[in-house]
């Protein structure tokens, strides 16, 4: 069995190293919190940094926020339950089912001999590469996060599986923990990412195109992390072995049953035979069968009750954190806190929405806003709250819609593991029994890489948009060759939806100065004079929909 805990001596060493950092962080961040949000915000930061359970912080902050509301009719504790019990926002979310199931999968695999088989297979296939097993961790984490939406399940399902394998192969504890914690937010840009689906629905952009656009930025982030993993493998002297085809074939045969787990999950989703919850249940049942009856690494009476108890304790903690986060979101939405914060930043004069040439300043403020929002909310709540607020501003500066989508989702990736309140930090702390503050330092190199990728994708829009640029050019050519002004206008209206963010997708506006001149307010100009075709009346337009 795999021991995922540290010895008392190691824990004391970690705590000793973390305490000075914690004191500085508490003092500095408490002051910032007080200046930005008052005593309540400062108190939340202090309690979080001293290790108070996150669900109590979020739930307590929600209760205090409602009880201190200006409107006396809102001063009821029951208000915090609104979004928790709402089937659309939380109670009916598939995450509530997938978290326990994928958590169980992760614990079963971690407590079996699967890590040993993965280590052997990775050494056989990637042992000649620097950072081979770490690269496997990056890819596997991205795969699971794409399925679970960055809910923290990846840290359990992949982190619990590969942490002992990374340590066994010779990677340092700091690098291993940093990689596992960061891996919990990888894959949000890759299909079939649930955040992409939710974002597409809220922002009213084409979901299939957004999936396609996310491939390049998502893979780019993974490549950056893989390069760093290779560097660490060289620096830490992780053993590299020559490639042997016979050993590779043998190791592959030993791990053949585990390799079918992604096939079970993705196969059902791709064919439409199962939804995400059903795929998670199928994966849990399949994992149980192969580990108990095929490999016989675990015994039903001896091991299964212990594993089930531990996995459900963690799943319950994660769900409790998410539920309290939704309670706080209820207050933020009711009082339009994100909107007020965003408007306050724009009113500082840094951004001039009437001057598109200064869009880089808007992008800077946008990244800061999304980063802060992503730390205090779960990803789905952040999308639901922030997208409607950001769309009008992005439309004013003529941002490209898929560029905005990639910036938004990548900010969520960064925010999940960003100190001091990134959700991955708390889940990793709970899973590996570490002080939260001790994880701040180990994630910093990975934060630097993710931030660099975010800045690159933010200020080089072509990385996000080149996959649809050909489609835009084709549409432009069709418009130029249109036989009538009405056909040209119809084609251009569809093109504008791809070229720039639209505040109202039912009435798209031109994205270029030339189109704005030809189509003021996004409408086909009325041509007057003898023989001119009169503009279609509202009644005529409505006939097209009958």
Instruction: Give the pLDDT confidence score for residue 448 in this predicted structure.
Output: 93
Q: Averaged over 359-376, what is the pLDDT?
A: 78
Question: What contacts 367, CB < 8 A, 6 or more positions away?
Answer: 407, 411, 454, 458
Q: What is the pTM of this model?
A: 0.67
Higher pLDDT, 177 or 379: 177
From the number of C-beta atoms within 10 Å of its C-beta (0-12, 13-18, 19+), residue 204 rates as: middle
- Model confidence band, residue 30 (pLDDT cutoffs 50, 70, 90): very low
Q: DSSP letters along 475-488, please?
A: HHHHHHT-SSHHHH
Q: Averaged over 450-461, what is the pLDDT?
A: 92
Contact (Cβ atoms closer than 8 angstroms) between residue 126 and residue 133? yes
Instruction: Give the pLDDT confidence score for residue 9 in this predicted structure.
Output: 36
Higher pLDDT, 107 or 223: 223
Instruction: Give the pLDDT confidence score for residue 224 in this predicted structure.
Output: 95
Separation of CA 330 from chain center: 21
Out of 87-91, 264-268, 536-540, the most confident range is 264-268
Q: Averaged over 330-349, what is the pLDDT?
A: 64
Instruction: Give the pLDDT confidence score for residue 451 in this predicted structure.
Output: 93
Instruction: Give the pLDDT confidence score for residue 538 in this predicted structure.
Output: 41
Q: What is the rounded CA–CA span in Å between residue 248 and residue 521?
A: 64
Q: Averaged over 17-46, what is the pLDDT?
A: 49
Q: What is the rounded CA–CA span in Å between residue 19 and residue 42?
A: 19
Instruction: Give the pLDDT confidence score for residue 151 in this predicted structure.
Output: 54
Instruction: Give the pLDDT confidence score for residue 165 in this predicted structure.
Output: 82
Q: DSSP letters along 288-340, please?
A: HHIIIIIS--S-TTTTHHHHHHHHHHHHHHHHHHHHHHHHHHHHHHHTTHHHH
Q: DSSP letters along 387-431, please?
A: HHHHHHHHHHTT--HHHHHHHHHHHHHHHHT-TTT-HHHHHHHHH
**How high is the mean pLDDT of the chain?**
75
- Model confidence band, residue 22 (pLDDT cutoffs 50, 70, 90): very low
| Residue 193 pLDDT > 70 | yes
Task: Classify residue 6 by its DSSP letter.
Answer: -
| Residue 286 pLDDT > 60 | yes
């Amino acid at each position: 069995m795999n021991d995922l805990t540290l010895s008392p001596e190691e824990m004391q060493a970690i705590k000793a190293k973390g305490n000075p950092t914690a004191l500085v962080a508490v003092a500095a961040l408490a002051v910032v919190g007080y200046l930005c949000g008052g005593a309540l915000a400062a108190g939340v930061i202090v309690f979080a940094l001293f290790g108070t359970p996150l669900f109590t912080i979020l739930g307590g902050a929600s209760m205090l926020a409602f009880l201190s509301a200006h409107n006396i009719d809102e001063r009821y504790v029951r208000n915090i339950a609104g979004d928790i019990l709402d089937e659309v926002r939380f109670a009916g979310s598939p995450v509530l089912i997938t978290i326990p199931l994928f958590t169980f999968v992760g614990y079963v695999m971690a407590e079996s001999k699967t890590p040993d088989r993965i280590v052997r297979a990775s050494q056989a296939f990637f042992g000649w590469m620097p950072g081979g097993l770490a690269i496997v961790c990056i890819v596997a984490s991205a795969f699971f996060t794409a399925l679970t939406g960055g809910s923290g399940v990846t840290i359990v399902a992949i982190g619990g599986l590969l942490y002992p394998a990374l340590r066994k192969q010779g990677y340092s504890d700091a690098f291993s923990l940093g990689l596992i914690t960061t891996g919990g937010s990888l894959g949000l840009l890759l299909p079939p990412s649930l955040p992409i689906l939710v974002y597409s629905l809220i922002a009213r952009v084409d979901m299939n195109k957004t999936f396609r656009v996310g491939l390049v930025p998502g893979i780019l982030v993974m490549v950056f992390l893989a390069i760093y993993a290779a560097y660490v493998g060289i620096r830490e002297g992780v053993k590299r072995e020559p490639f042997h085809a016979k050993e590779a074939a043998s190791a592959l045969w030993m791990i053949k049953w585990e390799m079918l787990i992604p096939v079970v999950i993705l196969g059902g989703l791709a064919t439409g035979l199962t939804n995400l919850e059903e795929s998670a249940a199928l994966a849990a049942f399949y994992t149980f069968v192969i580990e108990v009856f095929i490999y016989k690494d675990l015994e039903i009476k001896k091991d299964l009750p212990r594993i089930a108890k531990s996995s459900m304790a963690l799943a319950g903690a994660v769900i409790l954190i998410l539920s309290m986060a939704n309670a706080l979101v209820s207050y933020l939405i009711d009082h339009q806190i994100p909107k007020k914060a965003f408007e306050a930043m724009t009113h500082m004069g840094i951004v001039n929405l009437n001057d598109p040439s200064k869009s880089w300043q808007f992008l800077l403020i946008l990244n800061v806003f999304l980063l802060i929002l992503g730390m205090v909310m779960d990803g789905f709540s952040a999308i639901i709250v922030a997208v409607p607020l950001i769309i009008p501003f992005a439309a004013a500066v003529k941002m490209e819609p898929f560029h905005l989508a990639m910036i938004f989702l990548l900010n969520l990736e960064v925010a999940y593991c960003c100190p001091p309140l990134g959700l991955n930090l708390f889940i990793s702390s709970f899973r590996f029994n570490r002080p939260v503050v001790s994880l701040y330092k180990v994630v910093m190199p990975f934060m630097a890489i993710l931030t660099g990728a975010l800045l690159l994708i933010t200020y080089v829009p072509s990385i996000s948009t080149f996959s649809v640029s050909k489609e835009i050019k084709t549409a432009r050519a069709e418009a130029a060759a249109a036989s009538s002004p009405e056909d040209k206008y119809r084609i251009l209206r569809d093109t504008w939806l791809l070229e720039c963010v639209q505040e109202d997708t039912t009435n798209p506006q031109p994205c270029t100065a030339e189109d704005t001149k030809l189509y003021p307010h996004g409408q086909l100009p009325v041509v007057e004079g003898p023989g001119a075709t009169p503009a279609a009346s509202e009644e005529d337009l409505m006939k097209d929909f009958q």
